[in-house]
Structure 1
Amino acid sequence: MNNLKVGLIQQSCTANREENIVKSLAGIREAAAKGAGLVVLQELHAGLYFCQSENTDLFNQAEPIPGPGTEIFGALAKELGVVIVASLFEKRAPGLYHNTAVVLERDGSIAGVYRKMHIPDDPGYYEKFYFTPGDLGFNPIDTSVGRLGVLVCWDQWYPEAARLMAMAGAEILIYPTAIGWDPNDEASEQQRQREAWMTVQRAHAVANGIPVVAANRIGFEADPTGHTAGSRFWGSSFVAGCQGELLARAGDEAEEILIAEIDPARSEAVRRIWPFLRDRRIDAYGDLLKRYRD
């Protein structure tokens, strides 16, 4: 396989859906113009990160798949001949909603979807109120640019999710993300959190011998209730190679179109010298199916 250029769209968002989508489309065009064959958007890129509060009116933002979002981004994928990973608030049925990543093939068709499996519930991240946990499992999506192991945000902390994607043949791990700092935290704590976020994902690359792509949003978004100080999303979108090496990294202050080149042949070479999959003791891992060993 030839080397693959990947584009990551790190953007800020407003409450204006049309404005956000126009910005995303422009970012995809720029990435494609720079040679990207795969473009990844951040988590829930069509609007503000609405999970800072619990409000039933916000379910009105959800859309079906296929639907308006897949039509818009599918049309651009076809026009530019690129594969796009988009992130949508999916309305599956009345009262049933998911945080869903959708992969659009270069012909505009839907190559596959992934519904976020791990759903957080923390101050400022009240996702359990909005999202039903995914029920599609950890299955890579086959595309013209490779087999993509698409996961979403909170999934990125779980080595089990990355491993299962790798075991199913994923060639790249992809994480659309919305994560940020509590403005009230000390700077040292903020930096520890961001470094932990990057470290755990780079570890997934190392442990599985495949590249990792993480696209995060940027900018401050206020808590509409005023109960918290809001969230300042830390950007820092990055691409890591299959030994955890940083191939590209965005800053934490501004919107950015990040481009990185991935060599698919490196995974095979690295797995030959670090054969972690070969040496797994699958006969001894039964307790992983337990919540905790008492």
Structure 2
Amino acid sequence: MRIAVVQTASSSDKAANRELVTRLVASAAQDRPDLVVLPEAMMADFNLDGVADIAEPLDGEFVSTLRKSAVEHGVAIVAGMFERSCDQDRPYNTLLAVGADGSLLGAYRKIHLYDAFGYKESDQLTAGDVAPVVVKVAGRTLGLMTCYDLRFPELSRALVDKGADVLVVPAAWVRGPLKEHHWTTLLTARAIENTCYVAAAAQNGKKYSGLSQVIDPQGIAIAAVGESDGYAVAELSGDRLSGVRQTNPSLANRRFSVTPRS
């Protein structure tokens, strides 16, 4: 499986962001990935005044753009958006997975809202149900996580218990003291402790850290972008995955009983 992680910064202009998505997917598709991962909040950036007015349904313009690009280039896409919820003032922070045929593979509504580091995401957004979401792409099982979810290892473990061998982590990881260190450390930890791949696509620019990357099951970054706009492509190997899990059978050696949530 080939994965492209794309790094860019969205704006408050939804039309401009849709055009940006179209260009970015077209560019990354030149390297023939099976999956293109775009950052969190790709539909529109966070706004201090709230995001309720810009939220869309899953059949709205943003999702239509993803589906069109997926079909045009024959790639699956994961990207972040704000989805309308039953609370008109507090939508969901949603990851949408679209298949290469344009089908909707799954939607993950962010469970852990970013009420930390002086920010309160729950003022603007509704948390999703505590239900891990996995989807299938090119023979691999992807577990969907968003940004702040990375700080909660129980979610990544629940996704792996549902069969995920790749954790897909779109993010808008806010810059700040030690924040970049936290980002790279936690991505590496989630890969090592679960002996799985981690594919992280982050926003960059003045507000966000960038540092998009793909990490293998031994915690090695096998592709990375840095701070600038761009994308990186990595080849994920089933032999590498099974080999690491044979050498380091930490999942099999667990003593705690875990029942995945459905």
Give the TM bin, normalised by the shorter chain: over 0.9
Equivalent-residue separation in structure 1 for 2:60 and 2:187 (angstroms):
31
Larger radius of gyration: 1
For the residue of structure 2 that corresponds to 1:121, the secondary structure is coil
- Number of the residue aligned with 1:258: 232
Matched, 1:276 2:262: no
Equivalent-residue separation in structure 1 for 2:235 and 2:91 (angstroms):
35
- Number of the residue aligned with 1:109: 103
Equivalent-residue separation in structure 2 for 1:124 and 1:258 (angstroms):
32
Q: TM-score, normalised by structure 1?
A: 0.83
Shift of 1:193: 2.4
User: CA 1:62/1:159 → structure 2, altered by over 3 Å: closer, same or farther?
Assistant: same
Q: Which of the residues 203, 223, 226 maps onto 1:248?
A: 223
The aligned amino acid for 2:225 is A
After TM superposition, the structure 1 = structure 2 runs for residues 169-188 of structure 1, keeping only pairs within 5 Å, are: 169-182=163-176
Equivalent-residue separation in structure 2 for 1:141 and 1:273 (angstroms):
27
Matched, 1:207 2:193: yes
Shift of 1:44: 0.3
Q: Which of the residues 18, 40, 47 maps onto 2:15?
A: 18
Matched, 1:37 2:31: no
Shift of 1:273: 1.2
Equivalent residues of 1:105, 1:144 under 8 A apart: no
Equivalent residues of 2:80, 2:170 under 8 A apart: yes
Q: Which runs of 4 or more aligned residues in structure 1 lie more than 3 Å from their structure 2 counterparts after TM superposition?
A: 122-125
The aligned amino acid for 1:238 is Q
The aligned amino acid for 1:169 is G
Structure 2 runs not aligned, ≥5 long: none
Equivalent residues of 1:104, 1:111 under 8 A apart: yes
Shift of 1:240: 0.2
Alpha-carbon RMSD:
1.8
Equivalent-residue separation in structure 1 for 2:106 and 2:156 (angstroms):
18
Equivalent residues of 2:12, 2:44 under 8 A apart: yes
Shift of 1:265: 2.3
Q: How many residues align?
A: 258
Q: Share of identical aligned residues, percent?
A: 29
Matched, 1:234 2:201: no
For the residue of structure 2 that corresponds to 1:125, the secondary structure is coil
Shift of 1:83: 0.5
Shift of 1:14: 2.4
Q: Which shifted more, 119-128 or 211-220?
A: 119-128
After TM superposition, the structure 1 = structure 2 runs for residues 67-146 of structure 1, keeping only pairs within 5 Å, are: 67-95=60-88, 97-122=91-116, 125-135=119-129, 137-146=131-140
Q: Write the deviation string for residues 83-123 of structure 1: whole angstroms up to 9, x where unpaired.
A: 00011100023425210101000110101111111111235
Shift of 1:196: 2.0
Shift of 1:124: 6.0
The aligned amino acid for 1:128 is S
Q: TM-score, normalised by structure 2?
A: 0.92
Higher strand share: 1
Equivalent-residue separation in structure 2 for 1:245 and 1:32 (angstroms):
24
Q: Which of the residues 147, 152, 159 maps onto 1:158?
A: 152
For the residue of structure 2 that corresponds to 1:100, the secondary structure is strand
For the residue of structure 1 that corresponds to 2:244, the secondary structure is helix
Equivalent-residue separation in structure 2 for 1:170 and 1:145 (angstroms):
11
Structure 1 runs not aligned, ≥5 long: 183-189, 221-231, 287-294
Equivalent residues of 2:171, 2:201 under 8 A apart: yes
For the residue of structure 2 that corresponds to 1:205, the secondary structure is helix
